[in-house]
Amino acid sequence: QVQLVESGGGLVQAGESLRLSCAASGSTFSINGMGWYRQAPGKQRELVAAITSGRSTNYADSVKGRFTISRDNAKNTVSLQMNSLRPEDTAVYYCYAREYSAGTYLGTYWGQGTQVTVSS
């Protein structure tokens, strides 16, 4: 089992920055992919950014150039630096971690979510 605890959400004005962090505990040796999804009211959950244990990254087109994902494998943390925030970035942000064993996908763990609100 893996537990994920997020921090760093809040209310900011457009153009400002926020940094989200997610700390994993438990069976962290089995984690490969980590990242962030978000879900705005009335919309489906969407991938924001992802990072592998080898630090390969992937971003949603809407956040490229503004958001940066990073990972500390030794501390089992993943962070999301969000710059130039826009009102459309307003959502609940969820940290996730994907568990593998001998190359076989076992499942995905989710954090509790943290609210990011960007006012215009």
Report how far residue 36's alpha carbon sits from residue 50's, in angstroms, rounded to the nearest whole number: 6
Give 77-91 pLDDT, tens digit per residue: 999 999 999 999 999
Considering just the CA atoms, what is the radius of gyration of the chain in Å?
14
Question: How many CB atoms lie under 10 A from the CB of residue 43?
Answer: 9
Say what the pLDDT of residue 120 is. Answer: 94
> pLDDT tens-digit profile of 44-101?
999 999 999 889 999 999 999 999 999 998 899 999 999 999 999 999 999 999 988 8
User: How high does pLDDT run on average in the chain?
Assistant: 94
Residue 27 has pLDDT above 90, yes or no: no
